[in-house]
């Protein structure tokens, strides 16, 4: 059978059916703007883990244990690396004051964007590795630098960040007028919806395209066009999350590519991990005060991945014969993740009751 992305067409079709079918089921089940309960979030998170295990089992059956180990390692790695991204999303939602019932809608479109950008980055990243071991060294530096940056920002509080200074926030204001109040679940308002919003909020002033009073040098407001679509804070929130995720992908894609150079293995591992992030967000939001040492485990894993990439590159250059096998990688990832969870349970973070 003809091979695609290093695998038979049958495997590509099975991957598409698993991912698209599960996504359609999830979208149908969450088509309303209702907050997800912790119980529902846990059950849906288990559903996405089960779907991933089934696809991994298919790889094991058709392509052997090594390919399955590569998939599971990439999947778990992307999942735990996403924890830091989910914490950032919590801070963004809090800053924009997005109600819980609308967060699922923002996460849906954000994850659709993440799936598309991951596809592009995986194609570019796996192609770059063909240029030689020096690219692996570069990827090792990127992943290692990410770990260092995570260590440095441990003492910082994302809740105090002013997202009106974020590049995505400013870009939206540069290209769209903005009505600074939530109006239903709309990302954009047409002319009639804007009229109704102004009636609902008579004291709220529309922010025109190019209006930036915080930065006088960049403040060049333009008149509202007849057919202009007006952005809402829901779209501003989505734009900040989307651009933040793109920046996150520059770190996570090299990390998962360190596991395997097979584009389908890398992309399927990342996609199944990402598709479960929406429901995982609500689980993590409920448990964020308990999993206090999980981010430290993520930092350790990033240093491990950087070492693995550097070791692979040096082996290609000098043929020393040392390597980290797929099964060893999976074992390290699972052990470090387990230790991070156990440490959070045994050594919980103490809170100041007087605060």
pLDDT of residue 26: 72
Instruction: Flag whether 65 is in a domain.
Output: yes
Quote the pLDDT of residue 118.
86
Per-residue HEC secondary structure of the chain comes to CCEECCEEHHHHHHHHHHHHHHHHHHHHHCCCCCCCCHHHHHHHHHHHHHHHHHHHHHHHHHHCHHHHHHHHHHHHHHHHHHHHHHHHHHHHHHHHCCCHHHHHHHHHHHHHHHHHHHHHHHHHHHHHHCCCHHHHHHHHHHHHHHHHHHHHHHHCCHHHCCHHHCHHHHHHHHHCCECCCCCCCCCEECHHHHHHHHHHCCCCCCECCCCCCCCHHHCCCCCCCCCCCEECHHHHHHHHHHHHHHHHHHHHHHHHHCCCCCHHHHHHHHHHHHHCHHHHHHHHHHHCCCCCCHHHHHHHHHHHHHHHHHHHHHHHHHCCCCCCCHHHHHHHHHHHHHHHHHHHHHCCCCCCCCC
Question: What per-residue confidence (pLDDT) applies to 239?
Answer: 94
**Residues in the chain, pLDDT under 70:** 1-6, 30-35, 153-160, 213-215, 349-355
Supply the pLDDT for residue 324.
Answer: 82
Structural domains counted in the chain: 1
260 within some domain:
yes
Q: Render pLDDT for 4-51 as a digit per residue (tens, 0 to 9).
A: 445 788 888 898 898 888 777 777 776 666 667 778 888 888 888 999
**Assigned domain for 91 exists:** yes
Task: Name the residue range of residue 98's domain.
Answer: 3-151+250-346
In a domain, 205, yes or no: no
Q: Is residue 158 part of a domain?
A: no
* 217-256 pLDDT per residue, tens: 777 778 777 777 899 999 999 999 998 888 888 777 887 8
> Would 188 be classed as within a structural domain?
no
Residue 223 is assigned to a structural domain of this protein? no
Question: Which pLDDT score, from 0 to 100, does residue 6 have?
Answer: 59
Look at residue 203 and tell me if it is in a domain: no
């Amino acid at each position: 059978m003809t091979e695609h992305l290093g695998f038979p067409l049958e495997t590509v079709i099975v991957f598409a059916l698993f991912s698209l079918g599960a996504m359609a089921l999830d979208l149908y089940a969450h088509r309303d703007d209702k907050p997800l309960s912790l119980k529902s979030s846990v059950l849906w998170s288990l559903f996405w883990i089960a779907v991933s295990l089934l696809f991994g089992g298919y790889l094991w059956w058709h392509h052997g244990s090594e390919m399955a180990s590569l998939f599971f390692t990439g999947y778990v790695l992307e999942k735990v690396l996403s924890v830091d991204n989910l914490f950032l999303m919590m801070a963004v939602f809090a800053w924009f004051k997005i109600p819980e019932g609308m967060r699922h809608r923002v996460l849906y479109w954000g994850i659709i964007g993440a799936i598309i950008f991951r596809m592009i980055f995986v194609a570019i990243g796996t192609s770059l590795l063909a240029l030689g071991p020096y690219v692996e060294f570069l990827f090792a530096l990127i992943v290692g630098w990410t770990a260092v940056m995570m260590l440095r920002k441990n003492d910082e509080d994302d809740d105090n960040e002013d997202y009106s200074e974020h590049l995505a926030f400013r870009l939206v204001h540069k290209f769209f007028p903005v009505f600074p109040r939530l109006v239903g679940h709309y990302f954009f308002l047409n002319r009639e919806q804007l009229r109704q919003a102004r009636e609902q909020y008579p004291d709220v002033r529309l922010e025109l395209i190019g209006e930036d009073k915080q930065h006088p040098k960049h403040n060049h407001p333009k008149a509202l066009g007849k057919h202009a679509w007006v952005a809402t804070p829901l779209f501003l929130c989505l734009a900040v999350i989307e651009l933040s995720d793109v920046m996150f992908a520059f770190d996570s894609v090299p990390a998962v590519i360190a596991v395997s150079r097979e584009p389908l293995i890398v992309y399927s591992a990342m996609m199944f991990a990402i598709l479960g992030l929406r429901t995982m967000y609500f689980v993590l939001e409920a448990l964020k005060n308990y999993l206090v040492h999980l981010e430290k485990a993520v930092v350790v894993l990033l240093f491990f991945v950087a070492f693995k990439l550097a070791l692979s590159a040096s082996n290609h250059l000098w043929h020393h014969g040392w390597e980290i096998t797929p099964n060893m990688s999976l074992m390290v990832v699972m052990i470090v993740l387990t230790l991070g969870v156990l440490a959070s349970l045994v050594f919980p973070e103490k809170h100041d009751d007087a605060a």
